[in-house]
């Protein structure tokens, strides 16, 4: 190790910066996926609720 290389942490700093960026991209992907699945679940629940109401309406209207 030379005298001038003692304080040279550029490679380490670059690796840390790259790891932080990868972590940020990863968490963004995770949160986006969870949000999309949440939206799909809400829409699916709404569709099921509409189907139940339509079915109940049809049952009541046929029995009149």
Q: What is the pLDDT of residues 4-63, one digit of tens each?
A: 556 678 889 999 999 999 999 999 999 999 999 999 999 999 999 999 999 999 999 987
CA 59 to chain centre: 40
When divided into structural domains, the chain yields a total of 1
How far, CA to CA in Å, does 1 sit from each of 6, 9, 13? 7, 13, 19
CA 41 to chain centre: 13
pLDDT at 1 over 90: no
pTM here?
0.66
Q: Residue 29 belongs to what domain range?
A: 3-62
Q: pLDDT band at residue 64, thresholds of 50, 70 and 90? A: confident
pLDDT at 2 over 80: no
Rg, Å, the chain Cα set: 28
Identify the pLDDT of residue 44: 98
């Amino acid at each position: 190790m030379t005298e001038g290389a003692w304080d040279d942490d550029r490679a380490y700093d670059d690796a840390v910066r790259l790891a932080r960026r990868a972590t940020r991209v990863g968490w963004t992907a995770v949160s986006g996926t969870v949000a999309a699945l949440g939206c799909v679940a809400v829409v699916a629940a709404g569709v099921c609720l509409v189907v139940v109401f339509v079915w109940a309406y049809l049952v009541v209207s046929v029995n009149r």
